[in-house]
């Protein structure tokens, strides 16, 4: 069974406050006499489900087109935030956390639970390569230092943000979440899917 855990991007998809929201215009439309429909979209790559590139938090670090594909495919553990203590002694390469504060509900959340940098460092030492969350950021809503982002990227690990994990029970799955190859920017949209293992 395939489970789509991506946020649909369209008019009204919540964006980070102050960021560029999604909008769509039409270059050609069949209804207006053209032979095809051709759209043109404007949006931040952080709207909807996406992978941040290290360049997002540090000039000179790799951009979106350098995101390594192998990190975004493979076994992944889904866990509710309040159940993370059960993973203390488990090696997890890909961890997807359900905070219950997702934009999938149609509004940008005012806050969400986030791992502390010490918790992330412990997971990294145990082999974490990818941290995903259903929230808009792996860091806390009010963070400007973005310590979790820096810890992940400094260790050669990556993140996924704005996942839709509402209907996914805790457990292990196969993750398929390839970032779109866009040159030189700070993040890449992702179509994220879990396959039951």
Is residue 44 within 8 Å of 20, Cβ to Cβ? yes
Could you give the angle at the alpha carbon of 97 between the alpha carbons of 94 and 102, nearest 5°?
Answer: 130
In the Cβ-directed half-sphere of 111, how many Cα atoms lie within 13 Å? 3
CA dihedral 121, 123, 126, 131 (to 10 degrees): -120
Q: Would residue 46 show up in a list of annotated catalytic residues for this protein?
A: no
Cα dist from 185 to 8, 28, 30, 61, whole Å? 21, 28, 33, 11
| Catalytic choice (56, 85, 149, 150) | 56
- Catalytic residue positions, numbered: 56
């Amino acid at each position: 069974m395939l489970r789509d855990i991506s946020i649909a991007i369209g008019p009204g998809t919540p964006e980070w406050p102050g960021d560029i929201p999604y909008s769509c215009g039409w270059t050609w439309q069949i209804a207006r006499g053209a032979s095809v429909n051709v759209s043109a979209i404007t949006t931040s790559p952080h709207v909807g489900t996406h992978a941040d590139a290290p360049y997002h938090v540090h000039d000179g670090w790799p951009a979106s087109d350098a995101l390594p594909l192998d990190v975004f495919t493979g076994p992944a553990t889904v866990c509710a935030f309040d159940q993370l203590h059960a993973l203390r002694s488990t090696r997890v390469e890909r961890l997807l956390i359900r905070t219950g504060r997702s934009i999938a509900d149609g509004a940008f959340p005012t806050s969400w639970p986030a791992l502390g940098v010490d918790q992330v460092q412990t997971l990294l030492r145990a082999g974490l390569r990818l941290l995903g969350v259903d929230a808009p950021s792996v860091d806390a809503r009010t963070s400007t230092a973005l310590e979790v982002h820096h810890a992940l990227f400094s260790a050669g690990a990556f993140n996924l943000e704005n996942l839709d994990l509402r209907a996914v029970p805790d457990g292990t799955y196969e993750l398929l979440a390839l970032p779109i190859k866009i040159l030189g920017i700070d993040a890449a949209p992702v179509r994220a899917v879990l396959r039951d293992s």
